[in-house]
Amino acid sequence: MNNQSSEIPYWRLSSFYFFYFASLGALVPYWSLYLKDLGFGAQAIGTLIAFLPATKIFAPYIWGWLADHSQRPITIIRIANLLAVVAFAGVFLGSSYWWLAAVMFMFSFFWNSSLPQFEATTLNHLQEKTHRYSNIRLWGSLGFIFMVVGLGEFFQGHDIDWLPKIIFVLLAAIFVVSLIVPERVQVEHEQQAHIISVVRQPVVLAFLAVCFLMVLSHGPYYTFYSIYLEDHGYSRRFIGIFWAVGVIAEVVIFLLMHRVIPVVGVRVLLLVTLAFTALRWLLIGFFPDNTPVLLFAQLFHAFSFGVFHAVGILLVHQFFKGKHQGRGQALYASLSFGVGGAVGSLMSGVLWDRIDHSSLFTLAAVAALLAWVIVWRFMRVKIR
C-alpha cells in the first residue's frame, strides 16, 4: 500500500493478524460442533468454550507485565505462541471432558496472551498514524473469512475430526510469522502516573464497563450460533457463509474507519454500534428460519465487532501511555473478551436448554442497551 512508510512493516504485521484470526475462524464457528460431535451436551460445551475467554481475565495482564518490564514484547509474543502450539497438541492425546478442559485452559493461557501485546506493538509501529490501525487489522478479518468459508465447504465432505489438525497448523503458522516481526517499544513519558490512577478515571471505568457488557452480549452468538443454525436446518456450508458475511461487513468498515473516526467521533460511533448490536441479537433470536433476515443481521457485525474494536483499541492507546501500553491492552482484553466472554459463554451454556432461544438473545440485547446507557451518561471522549 502506498500510504505505508518504509518504517512500518506493514506486511509482517498484517501476516500475524491474518493467521491469528484464521485460527479464530476455525475455533469460534466450529469448535462447538466438534465438541457436539464428541458427544458433549450444551452445558459441557458452554463450559469448555468458556475456557477460551476465561484465561483472558488474567493471562494477558501477566504477559503484559512481562512485556512492559522486559521491553521485549515481540520476544514475549514468540514465547507465548510457541507454548500455545505445544499446549494445543494435547487435544490429540485424549477427549474426556477434564482432559480437554485442562488442554484448553493451558492453550488459551498462552494463545490469549500474545494478541494484546501485538496490538500495542502495531500501534507503536504506527506512531502518530494510529488511525490507520484498521488498515492492518483488516487482514485478520480476511484470514477469518478465508478460514470460516473454506472450512464450511471442507466439512461438507469431510468429518469434523479434522478440525484439531487444521487449528494446530494455523497455530504453528502464527509462531513462524512472529519470528519476522521487528521489535518496537513505546518511548516512556516522563513522570507517568501509576496505572491504577489511570484506571480510576471515571471515563476509563465507564469504557471498561461498556467493553464487559458488549462482549457479554455476544455470549449466545459465539458459543452456540453454529449449533443454533444447524438445529434450524442449515448446512455447514451455509453456516460458514453466515459467519463470513459478518466478517466481510467488518472488513468494509475497517477500510473506512480511518476516515470515519475523525469526522463522527468515538461517542457517536459507540452509541450507534451498541444500538445496532441490540437489534442484531433480536433479529437472530426471533427470526432463525428467515434466511434474508439472518443475513441482514450479520451485516451488523460491522458495528458489533468492527467499529467497536477499532474504537476500543484507539481509546486504550489514548488512555494508557508509554510504559502502560502493554498492560492497558491486556486490561482491555481481560475485562472485555476475558471476563465478559467467559460470563457470556457460561450463562449461555447454563440457559441454552432451560429457556427459549429468543429469550436468551433478548437478554443479550438488554446487555448491549445497558452499555448504551453508560456511554450516553458517562463517556464524552475525543481522540487526540
φ and ψ at residue 117, rounded to 5 degrees: -70, -35
Phi and psi at residue 10, to the nearest 5°: -55, -50
Residue given cell 479464530 in the structure block:
24
User: Residue written as cell 501509576?
Assistant: 194
pLDDT of residue 384: 53
The pTM (predicted TM-score) of the whole model is 0.77
CA neighbor of 142 nearest in space, from 290, 21, 45, 52: 21
State the amino acid at position 243 in one-letter form.
W
Query: ∠ CA(266), CA(270), CA(274), 5° rounding?
Result: 175
Provide the mean pLDDT of the chain: 88
Complete DSSP assignment for 194-215: PHHHHHTSHHHHHHHHHHHHHH
pLDDT of residue 382: 67
- Per-residue pLDDT band for 20 (boundaries 50, 70, 90) equals very high
pLDDT tens for 266-287 read: 899 999 999 999 999 999 999 9
Ramachandran angles phi, psi of 380, nearest 5°:
-130, 90
Three-state SS at 336: helix
Architecture category of domain 10-185+192-378 in CATH: Up-down Bundle (1.20)
Give me the torsion for CA of 333, 337, 339, 343, rounded to 10°: 180
What are the tens digits of pLDDT across the range 233-254? 999 899 989 999 998 998 898 8
* pLDDT tens-digit map of 41-77: 988 998 898 888 888 788 877 887 787 777 788 898 9
> pLDDT digit string (tens) for 129-158?
766 787 888 899 899 989 999 999 999 889
Residue type, 97: Y
Grid cell digits, residue 321: 501511555
126 close to 133: Cβ distance less than 8 angstroms: yes
Give the tens place of pLDDT for each residue, 331-368. Answer: 887 888 888 988 998 899 899 999 999 999 999 999 99
Domain ranges of the chain: 10-185+192-378
What whole-number distance in Å separates Cα of residue 116 and Cα of residue 114? 6
C-alpha cell, 191: 513522570
